[in-house]
Structure 1
Amino acid sequence: MEQKQKIIRTYFRKLGLEPRLADVYLCLFTGGAMSISELARRADMERTQIYRLLDDLKMAALIEVDTHYKRQVLRAAPIENLQLLVTKKEQELAELQADLPNLAAMLEGSALEREATHIQFYQGIDGVKQMLWNETRTNTDTLSILNATIQMNTDQKFFERWALRLNEQNVQHRSLVNDDFLQSQQQGVLRHITNQLENWQARYVSDSLLPIPHSTIIYDNVVAFFDWKDGQIFGIEIHNPAIAAVQRNLFEMLWQQASQIKS
């Protein structure tokens, strides 16, 4: 009985019907015709609650009511009557499907009205991992200014997934790096970290040309800054096309002045 009740409750809920309606219907279905008082007693509900539920069952065509000498007798209608509700749901779903393109077009038209700038703050190693994973959704090449390798500051499993995703998308990468990066890269070699990004170019920037106290990644309309020195691991994403464009221009100027890295 409990399993049957659970199944019927679930089906009623999918149709947008209150689960207690299933309890009342099942009570009538298994107990046969009965009065409202008897139904309230068997269903263990107040009569006022039964009256409200009966109205909903009538609208769903799930009960039949006979009147005998001012006394109402209730019985369960065939469960097949739910087909009316199923058909109604199908019609509503078809209407929703038909209206979706118009809704999408309306929102697309107002997209430019949304706030152009969005700033997101991340904290901890998991937060920085999320920032890096956001990069895998890029629609453009990525530019970065790095003071440490990604491998040294994330676990190997994450780095492999991150690099694989970017490689699968054939993303082109260019990076400006400093002495700290080259040192961490050498440590990675000593730790036998051999997984690499494909399509990656790097040039060296001396501290006299540009000190790099933190790392920066530029992609799409996003500029991401992150740092994990001195025990403070945090990152900031700025979503703004104008800021991203300026950072790209600065990167290109530095790229021309940076040195080739000797292998």
Structure 2
Amino acid sequence: MNIKQVLAQLDLEPREVDVYCALLTLGTASIRDIAEKSGVNRGTTHEILKHLLKRGLVSFYPKGKRRHFCAEPPDKLLELATEKQERLQSATRHLTTDIIPDLNRLRSETGSPQVKYYEGDEGIEKVLKDILNTAENSESKTYDVYSSKAIRKYLYRPFPNYTLQRVKRNIRVRAIAIGKGGEEAPLSERKWIDDGNNGGQASYVAIYPPKCAMISLQEGNYPTAVVIESAAISQALQLSFSTLWQLL
């Protein structure tokens, strides 16, 4: 990442970075000199300097009837990063303990399953991330899957480090593989069932209460997925999975 990409994380726009860097080079300068050095027009430079003053990245002193500006040391940027990190940590704590529980109480509790549809690699990536996030926050930190041989090489195409992320989060998985194959992985148990004459059918079913996800391939190996959020449905699927697991 270059300097502008990094400082964008501190909510500094590219022209603000140009003005700040110009001031570092000039030492102390008038608005006209700063505008000339930075390549930003004078009016915009004036507005940028006002913003940088508020951020504590620039200071000034009067010289006659005009102001001359100077840049604060670059270490100030690290202070801004630390302050933002602390604000985000505080916001995360409040979201976890107060805001999200309050918002969840506003959700309609009709008892009807919520069904969402996803397609394409981008959609499958969202589903895979949802599996990890939901399983990580569950009491057991586990989930179960049925996985056919035909879908394996396409499933993690949009999320190649999925297994690494799962292991890093200490999430366990039980997999019933339909058809031989599949790689062994940490925190994973695998059993197999014969696919008979249906080896070409691509399907993946993940059971991660209170949700279950069903992923399949359409024509041209185009992935689609349906996610059902229902404690009753996911628990019924989990019970049937566990029963079959014990029989294999």
Residue aligning to 1:117? 114
Alpha-carbon distance in 1 for matches of 2:155, 2:204: 21
Deviation (angstroms), 1:250:
5.6
| RMSD, matched Cα | 5.6
Q: Tell me which residue corresponds to 1:242.
A: 232
Structure 1 residue 220 corresponds to structure 2 residue 209: yes
* Number of residue equivalences: 221
**Partners in 1 of 2:18 and 2:234 — Cα distance?**
56
Matching residue's letter, 1:25: L
| Displacement after TM superposition at 1:113 (Å) | 3.8
- Residues 66 and 73, structure 1, Cα contact 8 Å, conserved in 2: yes
Q: Which residue of 1 aligns with 2:27?
A: 29
Contact 2:23 2:71 in 1 (8 A): no
Q: What are structure 1's unaligned runs of at least 5 residues?
A: 1-5, 176-180, 186-192
1:77–1:156: structure 2 CA closer, same or farther, 3 Å change rule?
A: closer
Q: Distance in 1 between matches of 2:34 and 2:88?
A: 38
Corresponding position of 2:138 = none
Q: Distance in 1 between matches of 2:18 and 2:93?
A: 37
Deviation readout 1:49-78 (Å, 9 max, x if unpaired): 4544554566655222222xxxx3554447
Distance change in 2, residues 1:14/1:130 (3 Å):
closer
Q: Report SS of the residue matched to 1:172.
A: strand
SS in 2 for 1:21: helix
Structure 2: runs of 5 or more not aligned: 136-140
**1:143 and 1:218 in contact (8 A); partners too:** yes
CA distance in 2, matches of 1:223, 1:169: 16
Q: TM-score, normalised by structure 2?
A: 0.53
2:93 matched to which residue of 1? 101
Q: Distance in 2 between matches of 1:249 and 1:158?
A: 26
8 Å contact from structure 1 (residues 9, 22) kept in 2 = no
TM-score, normalised to structure 1, is 0.51
Aligned amino acid, residue 104 of structure 1 = T
Give 1 or 2 for the bigger CA radius of gyration. Answer: 1
> Shift in Å at residue 235 of structure 1?
3.7
- Please give the alpha-carbon distance, in whole angstroms, between the structure 1 residues aligned to 2:192 and 2:225: 23
Higher strand share: 2
CA change 1:227–1:78 in 2 (3 A) is closer
Matched with 1:172 is 174
